[in-house]
Every structure is written in structure tokens, then in C-alpha cells.
Chain A
């Protein structure tokens, strides 16, 4: 039984001396929704283009649905539906004709065109020129084009780019339905964690061309350990006082707070008692959990740029 729909080994893409993708081992489990996350320019689209054989890797191997991409490119492409970056279309043709072109090349029936048009709710606008479509409609047409072949693997690069909230919601629902209803494995890339965390079962985070995290979404959530924040008048001295007693504590001078990883109730009581006894004013005490967004920013080292 095949475990991974996409399995890359030390996948690297070099442009001159610069490595835009560095030794990535992507493991996309069959039947999962894999969220491929990273800030803009991290190497997501480059990786996806390599998966589709649009550009060649400088080194490393790509295996898709158990086949080697170098040897079986044509067969593999037959089982993949994709939407890379912006949707691609012929603006002067109708939505229907756009799909018809793909259907002819791939040997797909007329009825399937109608089916996917219905699936993305473009059946009413099928005979209008695509250049008169809204961005959301173009995006949906792109998804219809990706789904038309009954793919086993769907690769969507930033599929919600430029969509309004209701469009995003719509695409999200469609994506969650796919593995459940049709057994399709989905790889979806985004630079926004909030977009991925609601649909993905697995996550890979890429930054500066390196895969810095890969695993189930639960594994990522586990990283969100809570902290206790104590607001006081002199955080630095308070932190020193706490550390003398062996607690872990860090002062945050800007907000006048002390941060500690100790959150069990008896210990917290001890700490506060200690601070009060050593003449520190305690204004408030709060437990804060790191959101996935914080983790994402922390992992990608981008928290300061905001």
C-alpha cells in the first residue's frame, strides 16, 4: 500500500549559486489535505512547478503516486489536476470552450465538462467569454479545469488568492469535500496559515527554500505551549527574584511583564506570593496561548518584520 502521494528526496533547485529550494523531503500522505505554507518567495511555487515537471530540479528525486517523475512524467501528469499561481485560461474564449480544449487533449467526455461546471457553479456563465468573468469565477474555472480529469492528486497553488471572503469560504468547502467524497489527495499552498489550518490535515512549512516543519496539524498545535504573563512595576527585578528560586522567567520591558512557562496553579500561587513578599506590585496575571499564527511567524522568523 502506497503511503505518500508525493514523496521527494533532497529536492533542490539552484539558480546560479542561489538555492531557491534546498534539499526538501516533501511527504504528502495519500488521502490527506497537505497545507504547504510559507511566506511569499519562500520557494512554494518553485517546488510546485518542479512537481509538475514545468521546471527541472537541479538535484534530488520526485516520486508521485509511486512513480518516478523523471521517467513517467506523462503518466503522472495524467493523474494530476493543478492550479498554479493565477488560474490560466484563454480570455477570448468562453468558460466552456476553455474546458473543452483541456477535455479534448485529455480525452474526456462532454458530460464531464458539464459536471465540473456545475460543481464550481459556473454552469450559468459557461458560454460567456472568460475575460468578462470576475476574479473569483476565473479561479473557479481554474479549479474546474483541475478537477475535470478525475485526478488522484490535486495541486493548488494559492487557490484563494484575490478572492473575497465568501469566495474563500466556498473554495474551502470544496477542498474539504474532495478527499472525503472522491478520495483525492490535495496539496494546497498558501502564505496564510489561517487559510490552511481550517482545511489541512498535514502541514509543511517552507522558508528561504528550506522545509522547517512537516507533520500533522496536531503536531503543529502541540507547539503552541501556553505561557503565564505577570504584569508588574519592575519586570527585570521581578524576573531576577523568580529566577533565584529556580523558576523560569523572562522580563518583557516594553509591556512591563514577566513571561514564564510555569502554569500549574500551585506553582503560580507560589510565584505570586514570592513577588508580593519582595515588594513587587502585581497588576494582573494572564495565561496566553500561542496561536498557530505565532508559531508560524516564529518558525519563519518573520515576527519582527511585522
Chain B
């Protein structure tokens, strides 16, 4: 999709991948609404984007809060017009340090589902129908390989992300022919605060920088028409060197 002037909404935009995607989209000329639980980090991202000549707005909200989505969607559309691109990067791990499933509080699982699955569902529910009536739009949900592989102690997070993957597949099937596309993207292991929470002793030199992954996601957004609706893809396919887009019908995440 064309990014110059596009109305975009990015969740989890105060740090990590979300912040990097918001910066990249704004640098490409998109009008970006940045959503995060707020505070100074979010204000700094928005100030940086504006300082660089881009357009950004800060909306402080918790996507896991049932009452937040209407305020988020309404504020965003009021500020930049009908949303054409939704990037859902907000995530929570559940317990930190991570715990085995049998030690996971039910409330921690519910919280992970609220932020990583139900929140993205609510926002997609609000934003996709007006996109479809206008005949175009793109939803990019950020997932993880923990949605596919069964990593011990990643239960709350992995279960919620697996749900998000399948949400994308079903929504994509239901949106076939409407001009609106859903893509679920696995960014790979990144050097973020969340990764440090999960694996404090990781060798950071082996991790991807969020900005590198954000550049891949922006390439993916530009080429989204070539991705099957509802597909789960790996961001590394858009590293600028790979032959890029997967073949139609191929779902990289299921293998």
C-alpha cells in the first residue's frame, strides 16, 4: 500500500518494535497515531517523529482494557481520518520472570489474552468494517515463534499469540474479496526490553535490532497485496535481499 499520507495506527508504540514501526511509517509520510499505556516514553516517540518532520499523535490507552478501543479508534480517526493501516505490536508476557504453565496464575493468563488477543480483536473489529466499505485496508498483527513452538515457561504468551495467529487466518478468510487484508508477522528474536524480561542472560549480539525488523515490516506493508489474506509470515522474508514475498497460498507459520 502507498504510505504517503496514509492514516496508520500503531499499538505498543512507546518502545521496541512498535516505536520503531511508528518512526519508520512516519518517515515514509504516513500520518501515525501511536498508542501505548502512555507516559513519557510515548511522548518521546511522538516528539521524535514530529522533530523529524513527520506527523504523529499520542494516545495513552491500554489495549487490554475493555473500555479503551472506542476511544482509541475514535480519537485516531478524528485526528488522521479513516484508518487504512493497523499495526498491532502491543504485547505482554504474563509473569516476569516467566513461569511454567502450572505455576501461572489464571489472572496472568487472562491478562495475556486480554492484551495479546482480545485487545487486537476489539481494535480490528472496530477498524476493519469501515476499511471494507471503502474497499481497502491492511491489518498487521505481530506474533512470535512462541505461537508455533512449545517453549516451556512461555505458556501465557505462547497461547495468546497462537490465538492471534488463528484470529488472523479466520479474519483473512472472512475478508476475502473486500480489499482488506490481514497479515500476521513473526518478527524474529529482537533486542527489546520485553526480550530482556523473558531471557535476561541472552547474548544481545545475536538479537535483531527493532529498527531492522521495522524496516522489513514497512517493506511487507508496501508489498502486502502479494501476501495471501490471513497468512502468517516471517519478517525476514522482507530483509531486502530475499526474493521477498512468499508464494501465494503458502503459510510459513504452519511448518
**A interacts with B:** no
Residues in B lying within 8 Å of A, measured CB to CB: none
